[in-house]
Amino acid sequence: MDTPSTSPFQVRVSADGEDVTLHLVGDFDLTATENFRSCVEGVVDGNGGTVVVDLGDLAFIDSTGISALLVMRRRLQGQGRELRIANVSAGAARVFELTGLSGIFTDGDVDAGAT
């Protein structure tokens, strides 16, 4: 029996002044959420600027990945900060659409260059 192929999850962090970009690569699923949350803790606590989450190289996202993004968005909003989603992959866009979250992650939260 073949095991489904997965793409290892990575978070690449870059900063521009107080603004931070989290470039997500691979599969954002249950096994990846702890890695993401650990990274977010440092970003949220260490900066005061906008956080951009780049989904251009995201291969897959499930409900736990979506939940982690929503928690981060809520936390940033509580601090008067902004979360922007950039370069939404086709797969992520479809999941946002199916779950009714496309408005949350596309109206005002998505950078103009998103796909």
pLDDT score for 101: 86
What is the domain class of 10-106 according to CATH?
A: alpha beta
Query: What DSSP character marks residue 74?
Result: H
pTM over 0.75: yes
pLDDT score for 103: 78
φ, ψ dihedrals at 36, nearest 5°:
-65, -45
What is the residue-level pLDDT of the chain in tens, covering all 115 positions?
Answer: 444 556 799 999 999 888 999 999 999 999 999 999 988 888 777 778 899 999 999 999 999 999 999 999 999 999 899 899 999 988 898 999 998 888 776 544 444 444 4
